[in-house]
Amino acid sequence: MALLVRVLRNQISISQWVPGCSRLLLVSRTQGQQGRTLSGTFQMSQALACGGSVQIPGVDIELRRKYHTTSKLSSAKDSPQPVEEKVGAFTKIIEAMGFTGPLKYSKWKIKIAALRMYTSCVEKTDFEEFFLRCQMPDTFNSWFLITLLHVWMCLVRMKQEGRSGKYMCRIIVHFMWEDVEQRGRIMGVNSYILKKNMMLMTNNFYAAILGYDEGILSDDRGLAAALWRTFFNQKCEDPRQLELLVEYVRKQIQYLDSMNGEDLLLTGEVSWRPLVEKNPQSVLKPHSPTYNDEGL
């Protein structure tokens, strides 16, 4: 009887289901190969890319469907990164020397757009609301801190537009320092004191940029810490003010990201959401501005 069972096992193929490529695969052991076993480290990906058929000694596997495979799982936080522009060797050399190579658009157009964008930071921002809700004194330093915050948000957005966007960032910062110096002279500040204060504000500007960049890439606590150090100068005692400003920055960055990059490079027109939203549902994708390059 035992001999008969052994003979039957050798004549009948034995099927086994093994996992592979998000489904179960039918594995059949052929006749006369009962003594062979499947290894625990069976590597399907080395033999096939989830399609066709493969021959393994003692195992017949046939796949009737092809599956798309990826080496990285997608995440909700993943966002498409801007494609790096391909530049020639000559352009790389002159840019390494500190000059600007050929850009996608005329430099004059980008400069005009940069001026408009900086103007939007100082003319379309409700400074009075910031003074009131953040309990800031109406001084030149408070004006500079609020302007710096909005300029930084513009820089964050335009750096996503490749070489043209980075060139526009430099022009925006240039116009900002020209405006700061001109306002200081209008206020009657001594030239020596103005020069000394400009150097101090320059150091504070780059320190603030680094802090804000780190904060925007971090969670709300990291962003709140950056705003507390720079915007409030470590003197904010009301956490509700920090919460309001964190919400404002996150909302504004998302709003700027919804704007078309080509339109920003050509027009520089930026609108700002109010510090306190009366209707949160009104945060919609802005309309594309009309660009007129006549005379440029």
Residue 159, domain extent: 103-273
Q: Mean of the pLDDT values across residues 51-78?
A: 40
Q: Are 116 and 268 in contact (CB under 8 A)?
A: yes
In our burial notation (b when 16+ CB lie closer than 10 A, e otherwise), range 115-130 reads bbbbebbbeebeeeeb
* Assigned domain for 108 exists: yes
Share of the chain above pLDDT 90, in %: 44
In a domain, 291, yes or no: no
Q: Quick count: other Cβ atoms within 10 Å of Cβ 253?
A: 15
pLDDT at 38 over 90: no
Question: Has residue 235 been placed in a domain?
Answer: yes
Work out how many domains the chain is built from and give that number: 1
Percent of the chain with pLDDT over 70: 59
Q: Tell me the residue type at 19.
A: P
Residue with the larger pLDDT of the pair 188 and 7: 188
**32: in domain:** no
Tokens standing for 185?
A: 């002279």
Q: Are the beta carbons of 181 and 194 closer than 8 angstroms?
A: yes
Question: Which tens digit of pLDDT belongs to each residue from 104-137?
Answer: 778 889 899 999 999 999 999 999 999 999 999 9
Flag whether 240 is in a domain. yes
Domain assignment present for residue 116? The answer is: yes
Residue 134 carries which side chain, given as an amino acid letter?
C
CA gap 92, 89 in Å, rounded: 5
pLDDT at position 107, please?
A: 84
Mean pLDDT of the region 189-193: 86
> Which of 39-48, 185-194, 225-234 is predicted with the least confidence, judged by mean pLDDT?
39-48
* CA 95 centroid distance within chain: 25
215 close to 153: Cβ distance less than 8 angstroms = no
Query: Which residue type sits at 79?
Result: S
Residue 148 lies in a domain: yes
- The answer to whether residue 90 sits within a structural domain is no
Q: How far apart are CA 112 and CA 291, in angstroms?
A: 12
Is the pLDDT at 63 greater than 70, yes or no? no
3 state SS of 40: coil
The pTM of the full predicted model, rounded to 2 decimals, is: 0.65
Q: What is the DSSP string of 188-231?
A: T--HHHHHHHHHHHHHHHHHHHHHHHHHHTS-HHHHHHHHHHHT
